[in-house]
């Protein structure tokens, strides 16, 4: 992490604990790296505050996507990423799905009250003030549960969602 020309920048470095030298170092990106994840084939997915990028096993960037708005929420798992972005100009909210590449992500317009996204077993869960909707990585809504209360986040365990707010935790059945 560094600051360059007044912007935060990140550099990915591959460090193997059985070696003394750095295996590789990627070029600097003008984003704040929030999280990385390995894909099943050993590549790397990086989610930043302004972009998502994929790197090969040698640290060379394969694909990159720059968000057109402000990052609201994200989650990443085994190289798949889901990013929730609100456009500063149009005030539209989009769920952007990256399925092992940032070349052609799937952009899904969603409810403007959407605030939290979570990945679990290649399913994307999107929470808004009205409901939680589960999406496949093809962009199809596969399940929905309506909410009676405004929650901040949730955890999924088996067929249940544990809905959490500042002073309340509720459990709902969520079968897909």
Q: For 78-130, how does the pLDDT look when each residue is reduced to its tens digit (9 = 90+)?
A: 999 999 999 989 889 999 999 999 999 999 999 999 999 999 888 999 999 99
pTM here is: 0.91
Nearest in space to 1 (alpha carbons), one of 43, 21, 31, 24: 31
The Cα–Cα gap between 131 and 126 comes to 8
Cross-sheet strand order for the sheet of 116-120: 116-120, 123-127, 131-135, 141-146
Residue pLDDT, tens place only, 136-175: 999 999 999 999 888 999 998 988 989 999 999 999 988 7
The Cα–Cα gap between 93 and 70 comes to 9
Query: Which two structure tokens, joined as six digits, stand for 175?
Result: 């079968």
SS3 at position 103: coil
The Cα–Cα gap between 172 and 125 comes to 14
Q: Tell me: pLDDT of 176 over 80.
A: no
Query: Residues of 120-155 as b/e, b for ≥16 C-beta within 10 angstroms?
Result: eeebbbbbbeeebbbbebeeeeeeebebeeebeebe
């Amino acid at each position: 992490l560094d600051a360059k020309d007044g912007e935060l920048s990140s550099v990915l470095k591959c460090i193997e604990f059985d070696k003394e030298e750095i295996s590789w170092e990627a070029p600097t990106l003008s984003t704040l790296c929030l999280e990385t994840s390995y894909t099943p084939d050993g590549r790397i997915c990086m989610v930043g505050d302004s972009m998502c990028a994929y790197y090969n096993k040698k640290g060379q960037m394969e694909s990159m996507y720059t968000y057109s708005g402000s990052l609201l929420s994200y989650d990443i798992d085994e190289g798949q990423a889901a990013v929730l972005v609100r456009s500063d100009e149009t005030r539209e909210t989009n769920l952007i799905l990256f399925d092992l590449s940032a070349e052609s992500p799937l952009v899904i317009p969603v409810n403007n009250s959407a605030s939290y996204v979570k990945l679990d077993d290649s399913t994307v869960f999107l929470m808004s003030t009205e409901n939680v909707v589960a999406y496949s990585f093809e962009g199809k809504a596969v399940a929905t549960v309506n909410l009676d209360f405004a929650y901040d986040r949730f955890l999924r365990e088996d067929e249940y969602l544990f809905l959490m707010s500042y002073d309340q935790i509720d459990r709902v059945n969520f079968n897909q």
